Structure 1
Amino acid sequence: IIVKKEKAVVECRLLYKDGSWKWHSLNVIPVLDEEGNVVLLQGISHDINERKRNEDALKKANRQLSLLTGITRHDILNKVSIIFGFLELMEKGILDQSAMEYLSIIVNTTRDIQTQIEFTRIYEELGSHEPLWILLDLVIPRNQVPSDIILSTDIAGIEIFADPMFEKVFFNLLDNSLRHGMTVSEIRVSARKENDFLIVIWEDNGVGIAEKEKEKIFHRGFGKNNGLGMFLVREILSLTDITITENGKQGTGARFEIRVPYQSYRFTMP
């Protein structure tokens, strides 16, 4: 601006008094003296933090859609090949008394296909809408909790800036507790501040998760079932730079920590 002596638009992050950083757009015009030297810069600053966050979320969504194309075709076609293979054997009359076992394989494989197709529908929608502020207490799937399990929460008045599919994070956490916890009788959801971060905790009193599997459970395809639930959880959260880890102790229960950055949470009540 000073060298070219021309007006310019600059996007940069500014540090606020509360320690947070926010994006601003600066429209700057140089003021010249009689000799043509820049003596002053005048400008207007616009807060574009929300716009920048939305842009980042959409960029991440594009990556999700690229991954979607690769995962689905390959997985579903493999399942279809299995079905056709067993159907061909049945047509040739090769199957005998074990036919019911093979039919069971066909049924289960077809169910896997249904699950994968449903996953692609959900995954395709991921990041297709702008993130919004969501009241944490409203996305806890209380009506899905079995009557023999006690669910307690301490998260009132907290809003999280996340993808509209944020509620599926907690549906899948509940599903994980019910499917793999085995002895779960209590689930607790709480939150606490840690420096500038908000830590949302989902914990149960089930059998827990083995140390060597704590990271693997977030990988697509890992696990006894379809291996998509926890993978989807991490993908949804990552759209607004939220992370999740499991740090429970095997034998005493699973414990998931959702780490929300400063700009992605707020309190609606004191």
Structure 2
Amino acid sequence: MDPYRVGRGIQICRRTFMLKSLSGQFALYAAGLFLLVGVGVGSWTLASYQTYGEEVEQRLHRGLAAHMVYDNKQLKQGTIDASILKDAFHTMMLLGPDWEIYALDTTGRLLAYSAPPGKVLRQRISLQPIHSFFAGADFPLYGDDPRSATSQRIFSAAPIENAEGKLTGYLYVIIGGEQWQTLADMLATSRVLQDSWRLMGAALLFGLVLLVLLFVLLTRPLTKLVRRFEHFTQHDFSRRNEPEVRHHRWTPAEVVSLNQGFDVMAGHIEHQLEQIKTTEQLRRELISHVSHDFRTPLASLQGYLETWLLQSAEQRQPQLIEVALKNARQLNLLVEQLFELVRLEGGDIRFNPEPVVVAELAYDVVQRLQLMAEARGVRLRVETDIHQQQALADIGKLERILVNLIDNALRHTPAGGEVTIKIAAANDAIYVAVADNGCGINEAEVPLIFDPHYRASNSVNGEGANTGLGLAIVQQLVALHGSEIAVQSSQQQGSTFGFSLPLAS
């Protein structure tokens, strides 16, 4: 994945879809919430204002119907005559143009009214609100509006009784007419409500702006963290040249933890990438070395076999087959060492420690390699004063260590030289060393001789040449025993490879 494209994509998304950012979404949600709150509070205020206004108006006109009955001679006597009351209602409405006056019988049926013909939609209304009015119920009280099939309005009511005190009907007065019927009418005609709405809108807007600014300040550390991610991806997953991150006293603890977590994650990614690059480099070097190591014995093997085939049956020389066989064995040894090194580095190898008499094992190895040493003119011997001391080791792998170290020493020791296996007690361990008085190793090259395929300046060419894997295998095998191999060397004086093994309990 191209880190530049990743970072560029983040920038484009941030610029194009601002509402997808945390601050943008919060501003949008806060604006919507404030709008809903404003509408809700405003509607509640208008409804409360209307209710309060109706309550006040109903209280002020509580005795209106009773005064009309008292002032009208026919009603005062308990007479309800529509033809006579029509003129009386007209006169009453001159005093209150917003009133609607109705005369009812004792069942709630309309007998006379002040409304124009065709305006009345109900001929009977419920008497329950009227009885509640007489019983002193809390205002506002709403009764049926004869001009509407469903709505109710505030009213004033009074009983109509004859001279004997018998109830003959009710005078029912709708207060306020039709002009206060909607909230919109109230808002359009009330200066107080208009100013209240403006003030409430300004307060909500100010609160919204203040809240968004506060949220932006609180999320600024998160924005900086996003920029750190962008910088990290744009610079090949590296924190090089990253601006210094500073936390203030008021920085939220969660944001500090996020930044610390990012540092841990980024460091882990950087370490892994570095390991990948190193592994890739080692892989390429290994392939290069293996190709070179394979090429020489294969070319030699092929050359000798082709020469042997080109000769006639009578002239074919067995020496050619012997040399070809030697190269084949060298090639097989290289493959075996490669597989062994891969298993050691991958941890895919069994380690079975047991009590081992190190001196006896050393004598066995010397005896096996004695012919090789004599062929080179080198003296091979064991030097020890602990012949029965046991160490805790894997006998097969310890033998492999000794063979590789002795083979390395023999190849770098000239004729007349000496290779010594030294075994001695050292505190709670047994010290094992292979020393020679050969050509020695350059001091600068000592740390490199355990790298696979590294060829030191004292490398031996020709028959004594090796693959360069022997010491790398030794280092891995010694590490399996919980130890480290140490090297002491001086040019033209010789080298000593030593390590320690734990005593067997």
Query: TM-score under structure 1 normalisation?
Result: 0.53
Which residue of 1 is the match for residue 494 of structure 2?
A: 253
Q: Which has the higher contact order (CA 8 A, sep 6+)?
A: 1
Could you say if the C-alpha distance between residues 134 and 122 of structure 1 is closer, same or farther in structure 2, counting changes exceeding 3 Å?
Answer: farther
**Match for residue 417 of structure 2 among 184, 194, 197:** 184
Aligned-pair distance for 1:217?
A: 1.8
Checking the alignment, whether the CA contact within 8 Å between 1:76 and 1:113 is kept in structure 2 is: no
Could you say if the C-alpha distance between residues 125 and 133 of structure 1 is closer, same or farther in structure 2, counting changes exceeding 3 Å?
Answer: farther
**Match for residue 79 of structure 1 among 291, 294, 308:** 294
Checking the alignment, whether the CA contact within 8 Å between 2:298 and 2:331 is kept in structure 1 is: no
Could you say if the C-alpha distance between residues 72 and 150 of structure 1 is closer, same or farther in structure 2, counting changes exceeding 3 Å?
Answer: same
Aligned-pair distance for 1:201?
A: 2.2
Structure 1 residue matching 2:504: 3-state secondary structure: strand
Quick one: distance in 1 between partners of 2:296 and 2:468? 20
Query: TM-score under structure 2 normalisation?
Result: 0.31
What amino acid is aligned across from residue 160 of structure 1 in structure 2?
Answer: A
* Structure 1 unaligned spans of 5+: 1-66, 92-102
Structure 2 residue matching 1:190: 3-state secondary structure: strand
Quick one: distance in 2 between partners of 1:176 and 1:81? 20
Quick one: distance in 2 between partners of 1:257 and 1:159? 17
Matched, 1:156 2:387: yes
Matched, 1:118 2:336: yes
Matched, 1:172 2:410: no
Determine which structure has the larger strand proportion and give its number: 1
Could you say if the C-alpha distance between residues 72 and 168 of structure 1 is closer, same or farther in structure 2, counting changes exceeding 3 Å?
Answer: farther
Determine which structure has the larger helix proportion and give its number: 2
Q: How many percent of aligned residue pairs carry the same amino acid?
A: 23
Aligned-pair distance for 1:211?
A: 1.1
Quick one: distance in 2 between partners of 1:180 and 1:77? 22
Could you say if the C-alpha distance between residues 76 and 112 of structure 1 is closer, same or farther in structure 2, counting changes exceeding 3 Å?
Answer: farther
Aligned-pair distance for 1:165?
A: 1.6
Deviations 1:155-182 (A, max 9, x none): 4123222233210111111101110122
Matched, 1:130 2:363: no
Checking the alignment, whether the CA contact within 8 Å between 2:380 and 2:420 is kept in structure 1 is: yes
Aligned-pair distance for 1:255?
A: 1.0
Which residue of 2 is the match for residue 265 of structure 1?
A: 503
Aligned-pair distance for 1:247?
A: 0.9
Quick one: distance in 2 between partners of 1:178 and 1:72? 28
Aligned-pair distance for 1:138?
A: 2.6
Could you say if the C-alpha distance between residues 181 and 115 of structure 1 is closer, same or farther in structure 2, counting changes exceeding 3 Å?
Answer: same
Quick one: distance in 2 between partners of 1:73 and 1:265? 42
Quick one: distance in 2 between partners of 1:220 and 1:117? 13
**Match for residue 366 of structure 2 among 142, 145, 157:** 142
Deviates more, 1:117-126 or 1:237-246: 117-126
Quick one: distance in 1 between partners of 2:358 and 2:402? 10
Checking the alignment, whether the CA contact within 8 Å between 2:391 and 2:429 is kept in structure 1 is: no
Structure 1 residue matching 2:441: 3-state secondary structure: coil
Checking the alignment, whether the CA contact within 8 Å between 1:76 and 1:116 is kept in structure 2 is: no
For 1:1-270, what aligned pairs fall within 5 Å after superposition?
75=290, 79=294, 113-123=331-341, 127-140=349-362, 141-143=365-367, 144-145=369-370, 146-147=373-374, 148-154=378-384, 155-163=386-394, 164-182=396-414, 184-194=417-427, 196-223=428-455, 224=459, 225-260=466-501, 264-266=502-504
Checking the alignment, whether the CA contact within 8 Å between 1:72 and 1:116 is kept in structure 2 is: no
Deviations 1:61-103 (A, max 9, x none): xxxxxx99x968983698369969xx8xxx9xxxxxxxxxxx9
Aligned-pair distance for 1:245?
A: 1.2
Once superposed, what is the RMSD of the aligned Cα atoms?
4.1
